[in-house]
A = this chain, B = another copy of it.
Amino acid sequence: MSEPSGPTMASIGRVAGVSRQTVWNVLHAPDKVRPETRARVERAIRDERYRPNRVARSLRTRSARLLGYCMEPRGGPDLNPVQDRFLHAVTEAAEARGYHVLLFTTQRGDPGRRASSRGGREDDRLDGYAELLAEAAVDGFVLSDTTVDDPRQAWLHERGVPYAAFGRSWSDGEDPGPWVDIDGAAGVESAVTHLYEQGHRRIGFVGWPTGSGVGEDRVSGWRRGCERLGLAPGPLARGDNTSDTGQALAAELLDGPDAPTALVCVSDVLALGCLAELRRRGLRPGADIGVTGFDDAPFAALPGVELSSVEQPIERVGADVVRLLIDQLTGEPPAESHIVLAPSLRVRASSIHPTTDPVTP
């Protein structure tokens, strides 16, 4: 059970014939040590394969050098490719600054207290965020999948807990803390512009139900794009984020009074439903009706799908979120606290009008 516990500063000191403080100096203030001594200590460090014990360091410095990240359970088939890439980016960026990511989950939704499990009496058992904090297991949190007025932001802000979020808070008044987000409006607008260039003049929008900050942001990009290009905004249909809904909404728009020749969709899943509806009607995506999605989900690039989509620079988001968070932890002056990154359209067959495309000389 009791492992023979690796080398310590003391053991290195013994080997090198110096005190453990000299070992510390060699590691943290090398110029304060005479070259011969330093060489001797460095040699011992290498021979013994010494590495400072992270736990002991954390206890002393009161910093675990760990960033908490809550994994939301994926309900149903997850078509969102974002979480994986984001986590990888966050992990890599954190490592570059000597931090690691600690994963956790929460069963109940909100952070804060929750009812006791025994007797129904009020209890102070704390949920995931509060628990890790109280245990001093992490120094701060990385948030993602933030929603309108996300309770987590306010909760963390009130307690002065360092955090940084992927996704703005969308709150009207308050500004709880630092975030990085994608400029969804700009992304959608670029899709509108692209479709315009492909010859479309009647561009519809397939969106989510009202109330979602992300969704309204994207709608506004569609409106703005149409306006800028001198187009009357085409018809708009809304529904929840499933491809079945997308199919129904596409049918609704195509059968409506002023049928669009192109559909800009708020998500790839909805866009996929649109593609299905086009196929059902014998219409060719791109050639007959232009379609674009948002997210650049993995399936967008598949043969037989070939969906044009707005791609989010997730790796960049992860790196920036980590920077925002760790700068707080190290007391660095916060250069900026809100970062908006521009996404870019990936053009595929679903939005290319063959005749408009100047391929043949």
Contact = CB atoms under 8 A, between A and B. Distances in A.
Nearest to A88: B71
A210 interface: no
Interface string A289-308: 00000000011011110000
Given A55-B137, A78-B85, A243-B303, 10 more contacts: A46-B123, A71-B88, A79-B299, A79-B302, A83-B84, A84-B84, A272-B302, A273-B303, A276-B304, A298-B299
A137 B98 CA distance: 12
A84 B74 contact: yes
Interface of A: 1-3, 5-6, 46, 49-56, 58-59, 62, 64, 66, 71, 73-74, 77-79, 81, 83-85, 87-88, 91-92, 95, 100-105, 123-124, 126, 131, 134-137, 243-244, 247, 272-273, 275-276, 279, 298-299, 301-304, 331
A71 B58 contact: no
A79 B137 CA distance: 34
Contact of A88 (B54, B56, B74, B131): B74
Given A244-B303, A247-B303, A136 B54 contact: yes
Contact of A87 (B52, B71, B247): B71
Contacts of A71: 87-88, 91
Q: How many copies does the complex hold?
A: 2
A51 B136 CA distance: 9
A104 B71 CA distance: 16
Nearest to A6: B134
Contacts of A135: 51-54
5 contacts: A55-B58, A71-B87, A74-B84, A91-B103, A244-B303
A95 B91 contact: no
B134 A49 contact: yes
